Structure 1
Amino acid sequence: MAATPPSVPVTKAIVTGHTRGLGAALVDALRAQGIDVLGLARSRRAQTADASVLPGRFEEVELDLSDTRVFAQWLASDALASFVRGAGRALLINNAGTLGPIGPSGVQPPLDVAAAVALNVAAPLMLSGAFSAATAEVPDRRIAHVSSGAGRNPYPGWNIYCATKAALDHHARAAALDAERGLRVASVAPGVVDTEMQGQIRGADEARFPLRERFAEMKRSGQLVSPEQAAAKFVGYLLSDAFGDTPTADIRSL
């Protein structure tokens, strides 16, 4: 008598900043696995594949994650708990983020600094807490912060971006020590991905970002990976048994 194959748990995922670049590719990679996805971003995605192409269902909510008060009101609703209800495995990918403001501290507008910290740090930490509470009864829960090499190595002109990505890394390290039941947490660097942010980097004022030419050369020499390639590796790691074994990871070394 043939062995019964193991059942695959119903999996549901939340992805922030899902409308373009790596975020959009992450949504497609998850849906290709039959995973239902909820996207959170300031706008809706322009184009999405239908269920005949990508079987996982897709929902999205227009929400400015940098507006802490509005985001907190949404988190206080039952929207998150309603989405994950019935899941045997729940995933959260904190992908939304901003590069700016670029330049040394003396040229950074205070409100731009506040907005960057709100989006890059406050929003993912708020959502992680709400996700943990909403999925308390889910057997397999996983939180992945989209990190960066900039969180582990300093770059001139990027003190805000470096600091905020380092905050996500350290959140993952500390959250792992809490050892919440069924919860795995990791901050994962996806490599240098060919997204709009890379275009923003190449267009930066060299006086504010002295390493601009280095990133321009990476583009010219084909060293950037596509969002689809990065997303495939990221999702593969997120779904693997190895996810969470270390609180910080880089998919280029996996």
Structure 2
Amino acid sequence: MRYIIVTGTSRGLGEAIATQLLEKGTKLISISRKPNEQLIEKAKYLTIPFDFYSFDLQEIHQIESFMEKIFSNIDVTNVSSIHLINNAGMLAPMKPLERSESEQLIANVHVNLVAPMLLSSAFMKHTKGWNIDKRIINISSGAGQKPYFGWGAYCTTKAGINMLTKCIALEETDKEYPVKVISFAPGVVDTNMQAEIRQTPKEDFIQVERFLTLKENDHLLSPDYVAKAVIELLETNHFDQGGIIRIDEQ
């Protein structure tokens, strides 16, 4: 059976990824602060094996024991492949660094960078020696390669995710059973995060008009479309190990 761990499944892209992964032969392990009742009900209706864990990724000191709990419930004799999708993320604070609250900056770094680092570390520790297909997909952003006014924390953490991806790939090079890893920028997706961006005052985010125009002109990508692209990365044989790719480069 294919096991897939996905973070941030309560809404948006994570919800779309999780929904499409509810299929025979897949055991979906969903992680988010709040339960997604529609996802839970759909899994029941389809009789698809599904585990939901309520967990706040800001609780970084609990992540290692949390992953211990997850892996203690995995039947190692029944695993044909195992994948981790680090999707959960937050944009706030959306304002210049000098006006950003320290607690929001800390939360951003914890959720966007420290949590994926710890989840990936635990994933690799627990699957070491498993002679199966093992992959980590880190959901990044174009903001990880380009600075945006008012997005200091978000840009910095996504740049960190990209470098983390490269480092993991380098460290896995000579392993007997390596983990494959890639960083994926999904483009501008029509999610609650985009709605949050469009409501930001121009003095906090000077490029807000661009995102308003993208919405008005119907140029946002649907979560379902992007989710399909993410799932293709779990299944393709043409995997760019350590790569930093955009959705339009697939």
TM-score by length of 1: 0.90
Query: Any idea what SS the aligned residue of 1:215 has?
Result: helix
Q: Kindly tell me: are residues 220 and 135 of structure 1, through their superposed partners in 2, closer, same or farther at Cα, counting changes over 3 Å? A: same
Contact residue 81 and residue 135 of structure 1 kept, 8 A: no
Whether 1:37 aligns to 2:19 is: no
Whether 1:57 aligns to 2:57 is: no
Pairing partner for 2:145 from 134, 146, 152: 152
In structure 2, the gaps of 5 or more residues are none
Pairing partner for 1:131 from 113, 123, 134: 123
Pairing partner for 1:116 from 89, 93, 108: 108
Q: Kindly tell me: are residues 149 and 53 of structure 1, through their superposed partners in 2, closer, same or farther at Cα, counting changes over 3 Å? A: farther
| Partner amino acid, structure 2, of 1:108 | S
Q: Kindly tell me: are residues 144 and 208 of structure 1, through their superposed partners in 2, closer, same or farther at Cα, counting changes over 3 Å? A: same
CA drift of 1:243 comes to 2.3
Q: Deviations over 1:67-98 (max 9, x none)?
A: 112333323x3422433632121000000000
Query: Any idea what SS the aligned residue of 1:74 has?
Result: helix
Structure 1 residues 44-53 or 93-102, which shifts more? 44-53
Structure 1 residues 80-89 or 175-184, which shifts more? 80-89
CA drift of 1:141 comes to 0.4
Question: What is the aligned-residue identity percentage?
Answer: 33
Whether 1:102 aligns to 2:94 is: yes
Contact residue 96 and residue 204 of structure 2 kept, 8 A: yes
How well do the aligned residues superpose, as a CA RMSD in angstroms?
A: 1.7
Query: Any idea what SS the aligned residue of 2:5 has?
Result: strand
| Partner amino acid, structure 2, of 1:94 | N
Name 1:11's counterpart in structure 2. 2
Q: Kindly tell me: are residues 206 and 81 of structure 1, through their superposed partners in 2, closer, same or farther at Cα, counting changes over 3 Å? A: same
Query: Any idea what SS the aligned residue of 1:185 has?
Result: strand
Equivalent pairs counted in the alignment come to 244
Name 1:164's counterpart in structure 2. 157
Partner Cα distance (1:16, 1:129) in 2: 15
CA drift of 1:50 comes to 3.1
TM-score by length of 2: 0.92
Contact residue 169 and residue 241 of structure 2 kept, 8 A: no
Contact residue 173 and residue 247 of structure 1 kept, 8 A: yes
Contact residue 84 and residue 137 of structure 2 kept, 8 A: yes
In structure 1, the gaps of 5 or more residues are 1-9
Specify which structure has the higher proportion of helix: 2
CA drift of 1:46 comes to 2.4
Partner Cα distance (1:84, 1:210) in 2: 50
Name 1:184's counterpart in structure 2. 180
CA drift of 1:240 comes to 0.6
